[in-house]
């Protein structure tokens, strides 16, 4: 499963990229707002760091404006993926941009029927938000299972990758990986949490203490 980092913070992206753990980046208007920086400049800087897909989201609800913005954003770098909302206008924009060989990430997906129609409209990625479903007492993981099942029924016709978003814990990353999700977009904090385990720390401390007792030096 590919790991995308879900942030617009350049320092976080650089750190994780140097570790070799980042396959791509996803951004959205909220993350850009938190960065306090110019949208296009942030995307350009990310593109200088990461060679994998970088999702840059349109900021209009009108299909024609979405298409225009998508065309403009796609010129920033070859690895830019245009992010559009799962609305009627967003899907029309997705279809038009896809016909121009521009990759599209259809975001804010909350049902398998939405995922099905997005794939038929040419989406490169579908972004179901599992954490937000959990927040309203729906099981977000069930949605991932449904989408993967539907897509796998039509491998020759539906090529959209399942990009799991709104991940809240390391456990959810492992769970969607078990289901066969193509991508998980993960906040930097969660990626760091995935590395750590208390038993690893305990075992390492024990090994180091025993090494000191040998009186040896390397």
Please name which of 133, 138, 139, 147 lies closest in space to residue 182, comparing C-alpha atoms.
Answer: 147
Q: Annotated catalytic residue: which of 83, 189, 192, 196?
A: 83
User: Which residues make beta-bridge pairs with 82?
Assistant: 56, 104
Catalytic status, residue 83:
yes
Partnered with residue 25 across adjacent β-strands are 5, 54
Active site residues: 83
């Amino acid at each position: 499963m590919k790991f995308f980092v879900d942030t617009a913070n350049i320092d976080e992206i650089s750190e994780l990229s140097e570790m070799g753990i980042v396959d791509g980046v996803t951004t959205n208007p909220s993350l850009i707002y938190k960065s306090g920086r110019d949208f296009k400049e942030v995307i350009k800087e990310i593109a200088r760091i990461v060679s994998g897909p970088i999702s840059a989201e349109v900021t209009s609800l009108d299909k024609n404006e979405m298409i225009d913005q998508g065309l403009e954003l796609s010129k920033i770098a070859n690895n830019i993926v245009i992010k559009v909302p799962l609305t009627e206008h967003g899907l029309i924009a997705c279809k038009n941009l896809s016909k121009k060989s521009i990759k599209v990430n259809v975001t804010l997906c909350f049902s398998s029927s939405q995922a099905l129609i997005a794939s038929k409209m040419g989406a490169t990625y579908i972004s179901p938000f599992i954490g937000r479903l959990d927040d309203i007492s729906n099981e977000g993981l069930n949605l991932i299972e449904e989408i993967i099942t539907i897509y796998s029924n039509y491998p020759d016709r539906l090529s959209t990758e399942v990009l799991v978003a709104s991940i809240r814990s390391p456990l959810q990353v492992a769970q969607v990986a078990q289901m066969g999700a193509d991508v998980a977009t993960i906040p930097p904090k969660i990626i760091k949490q995935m590395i750590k385990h208390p038993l690893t720390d305990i075992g390492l401390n024990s090994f180091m203490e025993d090494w000191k007792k040998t009186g040896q030096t390397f």
